[in-house]
Amino acid sequence: MPKRTLLDMTQSILESMDSDSVNSVSDTIEAMQVANTIRRTYFELMAELDLPHKNELINLEGLGDTSKPTHMRIPEAVQQVFWVKYDTRNSVPGDRTYTDMRYLSPDEFIQHCNARPSTDTTNYQVVAHTANSPIVVGKLQPPAFWTSFDDEYVVFDSYDSSVDSTLQSSKVMSHGAVSPTLSVTDAAVPDLPENLFPLLYAQAEATCHAYFRQTINPKAERSENRLRVRSMRNKWRESRMIDKGPNYGR
Q: State the total domains in the chain.
A: 2
Do residues 23 and 69 both lie within one domain? no
Q: 219 vs 36, which has greater pLDDT?
A: 36
pTM: 0.74
Examine the domain organization and report whether 161 and 83 are in the same domain. yes
Does the pLDDT at position 233 exceed 60? no
Determine, yes or no, domain membership for 106: yes
- The mean-pLDDT minimum among 18-32, 36-50, 88-102, 217-231 falls in 217-231
The residue among 232 and 196 whose pLDDT is bigger is 196
Within-domain flag for 248: no
Residue 157 CA to residue 33 CA, distance in Å, equals 50
**For residue range 158-192, what is the model confidence (pLDDT) as tens digits?**
999 999 999 999 999 999 999 899 999 999 999 98
Contact 162, 182 (CB under 8 A): no
- Read off the pLDDT band of 246 (50, 70, 90): very low
Average pLDDT over residues 179-207: 92
What separation in angstroms does the CA of 250 have from each of 31, 45, 143?
34, 19, 22
* pLDDT, position 56: 92
Residues paired with 173 in a beta bridge: 85
- Say if residue 219's pLDDT is above 70: no
**DSSP category for residue 19:** P
Average pLDDT, the chain: 87
* Amino acid 159: pLDDT: 97
Q: Which domain holds residue 72?
A: 54-178
Q: What is the pLDDT of residues 88-104, one digit of tens each?
A: 998 777 789 999 999 99
Q: Which residues fall within 8 angstroms of residue 114, CB to CB, at 6 or more apart?
A: 134, 135, 136
What confidence score (pLDDT) does residue 245 get?
47
Question: Do 163 and 78 share a structural domain?
Answer: yes
124 is a domain residue: yes
Residue 61 shares a structural domain with residue 43: no
Tell whether 18 and 97 lie within a shared domain.
no
Check whether residue 79 and residue 140 sit in a common domain.
Answer: yes
* β-pairing verdict for 78-87 and 61-62: unpaired
